Amino acid sequence: MGSKSNWAVIGEIMRSLRSGAGMSLTDASQMMGVSKGHLSHVECGRDRPGVGLIERYEEMFSADGLLWSAYIAARTNRQALPQPAVDGRYPVPGDAVHFIRDVTVPDGTVLPPDFSFRKVWRVGNVGSVLWQGRWLARVGSPFGHGIPWSPSRVRIDDTSQGGVVDIEVPMRTQCMGGTAQVRWKIVDEEGWDFFPDPGRLGLLLTIIVDEDAPSPPWAGEQR
């Protein structure tokens, strides 16, 4: 079996946002101005949401660009979203990862618009499996409305058991002010998620873009 379609993933995100806010499908359909049946089909991946519905979900449930990112990826079909494996290949027995720290740009950093920087996470291979042929893949589009730019994926250096690796991603802030969050997953060459636990968010970056923000003091060090 293959991975879920991008539209099914978008539906899951929408359902998660709504349920996380404690709103029923009936109440949401009334507030969105659509039928309950249509909204149910959208959240199940059977119907495709329109731009207006995506925008209302973003605003009502404070999705911080996550839904826009996934929507743009689905419309452009530029990059398949990293998905949990459904054929049993992952997780590999004994495979484990541990987040150590943000080396650069901690969550909540305020940056100016259209500003280039490098995000670095430090993670540890705390399992019994050698990491080879792994990538850090962005969940959703690598660019779009109100979200920072980045490559769709970057290579992770091979890492032995017990080893530590820094994962670096070149990025550029969006031109629009506001908060943006980007999520990443560790995948193989084909895009299969090595850690498919639905409760595992992966690596996150949350930044605040302010047109009045000065360049940070470390800007020259990253050039």
Domain count, the chain: 2
CA atoms of 120 and 218, how far apart (whole Å): 14
Spell out, as residue ranges, where the chain has pLDDT lower than 50: 1-3, 78-81, 84-86
Instruction: Give domain status of residue 195, yes or no.
Output: yes
Radius of gyration of the chain (CA): 18
CB distance 179 to 207 below 8 Å: yes
Q: Quick one: 122 and 51 in the same domain? A: no
What pLDDT, on a 0 to 100 scale, did the predictor assign at position 220? 63
Q: What is the pLDDT of residue 77?
A: 55
Are residues 51 and 106 part of one domain?
no
Answer whether 213's CB lies under 8 Å from 177's CB. no
**CA-CA-CA-CA torsion for 199, 84, 21, 98, nearest 10 degrees?**
30
Instruction: State the first-to-last Cα distance of the chain, in angstroms, to the nearest integer.
Output: 44
pLDDT of residue 217: 83
Distance CA 24, CA 67 (A): 19
Alpha carbons 212 and 218: distance in angstroms, whole number:
17
Q: What pLDDT does residue 1 have? A: 35
In sequence order, the β-bridge partners of residue 66 are: none
Based on the fold, state whether residues 36 and 123 are members of the same structural domain: no
Read off φ and ψ for residue 133, nearest 5 degrees: 65, 40
Instruction: Kindly state whether residue 17 falls inside one of the protein's structural domains.
Output: yes
Q: Are 85 and 4 in contact (CB under 8 A)?
A: no
Residue 58 forms part of a structural domain? yes
Q: What pLDDT was estimated at residue 118?
A: 95
CATH number of 52's domain: 1.10.260.40
Q: How far apart are CA 95 and CA 91, in angstroms?
A: 7
Domain membership flag for residue 176: yes
Nearest to 183 by CA among 146, 141, 155: 141
Domain co-membership, 129 together with 190 = yes
Q: List the domain range (segments joined by +) for residue 47.
A: 6-63
Q: 81 in a domain, yes or no?
A: no
Residues 105 and 36 in one domain: no
The answer to whether residues 105 and 185 belong to one domain is: yes
Alpha helices in the chain (DSSP H): 6-20, 25-32, 36-43, 51-61, 66-76, 219-222
Q: What are 96-142's pLDDT values in tens digits?
A: 999 999 999 999 999 999 899 999 999 999 999 999 999 999 987 66
Q: Which two tokens stand for residue 142?
A: 């690598």
Peptide bond into 91 cis (omega under 30): yes
Q: What is the pLDDT of residue 8?
A: 83
